[in-house]
Amino acid sequence: MEELSFSDLPRIFFNMDVMEGQWSLLLSGMWVTLEIAVISIVLSTVLGLFVALIRIGEDKLLNVLLIAYLEFCRATPIVVALIVVYFGLPFLNVTFSPFASAVIVIVFVHAAYIGEAFRSGILAINNTQTEAARSLGMTKFQTLRYVIIPQAFKLVLPTLANQWTGIIKDTAICTILAITELLKAAQIISTWKANPTPLVMSTVMYLIILLPLTLTTMKLEKRRGSKN
Amino acid sequence: MKIFFKKSLILFSIYTLLSASAWAQTVFSADEVEKSENDGRLHVGLVITTPPRSYYENSDPNQPLTGYEPDILNEIAKRIGKEIVYYDVAWAGLFTGLLAQKWDVAASNIFINEDRLKMMDFSEPHFDTGMGVLVEVNSSIKSLKDLKNKTLGVDIGSGAEVWLRENMDRFGPYKIQSYNGTPDVFLDVQTGRLDGGVSDLSIIDWYIESHKSRLKRGTTLGEFYNVGFAFRKGSPIIEDVTKAIREMKKDGTIGEIYFKYHGVYPEENNSAYILYDQGQK
Amino acid sequence: MMNTKKRGKNKYSTTIISSVLLILFFIYFLFFSNADWSLFKEQFLNFEKMEGRYYIFISPFFLVLKISFFSCFFASLIGLCFAVIRNYNFKILDMLITSYVVLFRSIPAMVLVVLVYFALPFVGLNLPSTNSVIMSLSLLFGAYTTEIFRSGINSVDKLQIEASKSLGMNSLKTMRFIILPQAMRVVIPPLTTVLIDVLKTTSIAYVVGVPELIARARQMEGVIGSVTPLIFVSILYFLIILPVVILSSRLEKRSRKWSKA
């Protein structure tokens, strides 16, 4: 059998001939990934905030429901959730496009985590502040809007950023649906040309998107750590 | 607090025990094959989700692998006197694994085309196959002309995908959606997201068999493709395999195997019988 | 947390509204949505076709446990070692470890698994699929555990370290007998979260041909022509992960109480 050698590496993993004329597909895949990511990040953050606000209220039933929701999301692999939403729901006459299913599943799962993060952030803010704000004649909504949420947001920002990184990474799992996102585009070219170079290129693209975010997250975490 | 720690310790040790038993389970079962260099065996990577091409009897992995291609490969292995080892892979990793020497033969209904010939060598084609469009029973797709403005699903990187892209001008415009695996394509035809799923004829027919009330074959694509086994460039075993395939063509073994899974014999001008000039792929 | 007396009235109204909405939602689904239940049942809950095939999932079930146990074990080992090393503030090692953490927190698991399995043979490391998944998951989550252990070590009061030094303990002994036992308490709840993540991430191992649950389900799916195996497998996954989730949220509650106390 022929020996596998280090010198084969560039020919197989960095073979730019393979990529010729294929960059547009890869870039459009990256665009789709970014679209899913951005929409999911915005929606799940908003939804997470709502979840947190309901959780800090003391409605028992809603609280129990939301705890069940959180535990459910923590125990379900995204792959499984995607399959059920994408292939399962159509048989109940609820058909989402691949893009919509991806966003729905990611938002559904991550909103639970983000809600938990917001909740701990809100709870960490001193109760006396609420009382002070209320005694100044602010309504409950105003207290939340102007006093608690801005502070909580700062407090949970590192956790949030971490969660956002997670969302971008999870878009890679959506490749099991019929969306041509970054990983799927890479796989298409890769099997077409019988060469793994596109996969390597997609890794590089993922790193270009994710490295700055991770670095920022870690900086934020450090700052929070030094404050405590 | 102490009691709580004890509790979680117990839980943790239960988990450890479970995992240890899992370790024993998987070490002693023959679930996973490991490749050692130059062990004189024929290492084949293939996708095992596409009956009747390749599948486990009753979907039980303890049974020997069956299907059209495994049968041919088993016969080849017998003729060149090698033991055969199968690797279950996903389409997306089939060629990469071949190049990375994870296995020495890639065999999943691989159409021989220009792009692939640049990266790999192929054995002599062992049969030709056509493609068809799987549709719902009351679908309007009856011929190739009806493909216009439809949404069509294909397996990622398959010959069907290439065909659809190349024939966009003739029959299009239509929308192509790529899936990870043929089962997903067929499923989405039933959910109604796809107007049709394009795949290998025999795979489509096999699937329709269990979904007769809802699915049918809309049309065939008319063209036939050479299917062969892929090897790394300059692999020393190609010649042996090609020789075995030629022998099997001559004595009609391939025709018999084809009959076993399709119920009919291949036509005279199918690569299952044609002997190609040496050197031509 | 807020004024409970005033909230008393709201409490019931929201409960009632939400439950009514839930019930309406289910009624809509059951009676008015034209849902094709027979098709749904045939595709998703077709357990007749599964009969006699359940034993196929036994070995993949244990394989998932095995992969996640070893990944978690090695990830913790990596995390512990790196966190201890970082505690000594060697500049170069510090930089290396930080870049390791940054890099592996940025790579999607799917991509790393593929790279370890297919690319490492070219540099002389040809691992079988299961081991390559264990290796990539260990590396991936090692980045998280490094952070977790570090924050655990940092959570120990600096005064204690000085005290132990003044008692004549060397730094290794301080680490072993003073810092780590206390750090463990802080570290265990987030570690269970990592365990959950590892368990969930094993579901992508089928990409490189590990004969685990999803791979087996997909094969069976092709043969019996129904998605039921996937549903069955998702229930299995749920059953594996749920106990860990419950354990983890309990631990978190405890640790929150400790940190308050």
Q: Give me the amino acid identity at A146.
A: Y
Q: Pinpoint the residues of chain B covered by CATH 3.40.190.10.
A: 41-128+225-262, 130-224
Q: Does B17 touch chain C (CB under 8 A)?
A: no
Q: Give me the amino acid identity at C117.
A: Y
Selected residues 23-52 of chain B with any CB under 8 Å from a CB in chain A: 37-38
* Tens of pLDDT, residues C35-82: 566 766 776 777 777 777 788 888 888 888 889 989 999 999 999 899
* Tens of pLDDT, residues A144-202: 888 888 888 888 888 899 899 999 988 888 887 888 888 888 888 877 777 778 888 88
Against chain C, the chains showing at least 3 CB pairs within 8 Å are A, B
Q: What residue in B sits closest to A189 (Cα-Cα)? A: B157
Q: Does A199 sit within 8 Å of C111, measured CB to CB? A: yes
| Interface probe with A: pick from C122, C150, C214, C218, most Cβ of A within 10 Å | C122
- The conformation of residue C89, written as its DSSP 8-state character, comes to T
Instruction: Answer yes or no: are the C-beta atoms of A104 and A96 closer than 8 Å.
Output: yes
CA–CA distance, A150 with A155 (Å, rounded to integer): 9
Shortest Cα distance, chain B CAs vs residue A18, angstroms = 9
Tens of each residue's pLDDT in chain B, 281 residues: 455 556 655 665 665 555 555 554 444 333 444 554 557 788 888 888 777 888 877 777 777 888 888 888 888 888 888 888 888 777 777 887 888 778 889 888 888 888 788 888 888 888 888 888 999 888 888 888 888 888 899 888 777 888 888 888 888 788 888 887 788 888 888 888 888 999 888 888 888 887 888 888 888 887 788 888 999 888 888 888 888 888 888 888 888 888 888 778 887 777 778 777 654 44
DSSP assignments along C6-26, one per residue: HHHHHHHHHHHHHHHHHHHHH
Sign of the torsion angle spanned by Cα atoms B240, B242, B247, B251: positive
Identify the structural domains of chain C with CATH numbers, from first to last: 56-260 (1.10.3720.10)
The pair of three-digit structure tokens given for residue A109, joined into one six-digit string: 């799962």
Q: What is the pLDDT at residue C258?
A: 67
* Residue C126 backbone zone (phi > 0: left; psi -120 to 50: alpha; other: beta): beta
Report the DSSP beta bridge partners of residue B216.
B135
* Tens of pLDDT, residues A124-139: 887 788 788 888 888 8
Mean pLDDT confidence for C210-216:
81
* pLDDT of A108 above 80: yes
Instruction: Answer yes or no: are the C-beta atoms of A106 and A44 closer than 8 Å.
Output: yes
CATH architecture of B130-224: 3-Layer(aba) Sandwich (3.40)
Q: Does A200 sit within 8 Å of C106, measured CB to CB? A: no
Chain C residues close to B23, C-beta within 8 Å: 66, 69-70
b (16+ CB within 10 A) / e for B101-135: bbbbbbbbbbbbeeebeebbbbbbbbbbbebbbbb
CA–CA distance, A221 with C225 (Å, rounded to integer): 49
Q: Does B192 sit within 8 Å of A4, measured CB to CB? A: no
Instruction: Answer yes or no: are the C-beta atoms of B188 and A178 closer than 8 Å.
Output: yes
Global pTM reads: 0.79
CA–CA distance, C157 with A79 (Å, rounded to integer): 42
Q: Does C203 sit within 8 Å of A61, measured CB to CB? A: no
Q: Does C225 sit within 8 Å of B58, measured CB to CB? A: no
Instruction: Answer yes or no: are the C-beta atoms of B44 and C209 closer than 8 Å.
Output: no
Q: Does C171 touch chain A (CB under 8 A)?
A: no
Q: Does C10 touch chain A (CB under 8 A)?
A: yes
3-state DSSP helix/strand/coil percent for chain C, to nearest 5?
85, 0, 15
Chain C residues close to B1, C-beta within 8 Å: 254, 258
Q: What is the pLDDT at residue B20?
A: 55
Q: Look at the domain B41-128+225-262 and name its fold.
A: D-Maltodextrin-Binding Protein; domain 2 (3.40.190)
* pLDDT of C29 above 80: no
- Residue C220 — very low, low, confident or very high, per pLDDT cuts 50/70/90? confident
Q: What is the pLDDT at residue B170?
A: 84
Radius of gyration of chain C (CA): 25
Q: What is the pLDDT at residue A6?
A: 66
ipTM value of the model?
A: 0.77
- Measured CA to CA in angstroms, residue A179 lies from A93, A97, B199 at distances of 21, 9, 19
Q: Does C166 touch chain A (CB under 8 A)?
A: no
DSSP assignments along chain A, one per residue: -PPP-TTHHHHHHS-HHHHTTTHHHHHHHHHHHHHHHHHHHHHHHHHHHHHHHHHHS--HHHHHHHHHHHHHHHHS-HHHHHHIIIIIGGGGT----HHHHHHHHHHHHHHHHHHHHHHHHHHHS-HHHHHHHHHTT--HHHIIIIIIHHHHHHHHHHHHHHHHHHHHHHGGGGGGSS---HHHHHHHHHHHHT-SHHHHHHHHHHHHHHHHHHHHHHHHHHHHHHH-
HEC string of chain B? CHHHHHHHHHHHHHHHHHHHHHHHHHHHCCCCCCCCCCCCEEEEEECCCECCCEEEHHHCCCCCEECHHHHHHHHHHHHHCCEEEEEECCHHHHHHHHHCCCCCEEEEEEECCHHHHHHEEECCCCEEEEEEEEEECCCCCCCHHHHCCCEEEEECCCHHHHHHHHCHHHHCCCEEEEECCHHHHHHHHHHCCCCEEEEEHHHHHHHHHCCCCCEEEEEEEEEEEEEEEEEECCCCCHHHHHHHHHHHHHCCHHHHHHHHHHCCCCCCCCCCCCCCCCCCC
* pLDDT of C1 above 50: no
* pLDDT of C3 above 60: no
Instruction: Answer yes or no: are the C-beta atoms of C15 and A59 closer than 8 Å.
Output: yes
Q: What is the pLDDT at residue A164?
A: 92
With a pLDDT cut of 90, the percent of chain C lying above it is 11
Q: What is the pLDDT at residue B4?
A: 56
Identify the structural domains of chain A with CATH numbers, from first to last: 22-227 (1.10.3720.10)
Chain C residues close to A13, C-beta within 8 Å: 119, 122
Selected residues 88-147 of chain A with any CB under 8 Å from a CB in chain C: 88, 91-94, 123, 127, 130, 140
Using DSSP, state whether C40 is helix, strand or coil.
helix
Chain B residues close to C65, C-beta within 8 Å: 18-19, 22
Q: Does B34 sit within 8 Å of C130, measured CB to CB? A: no
Chain A residues close to B120, C-beta within 8 Å: 194
| Partner residue opposite B90 with nearest CB, options C63, C207, C247 | C207
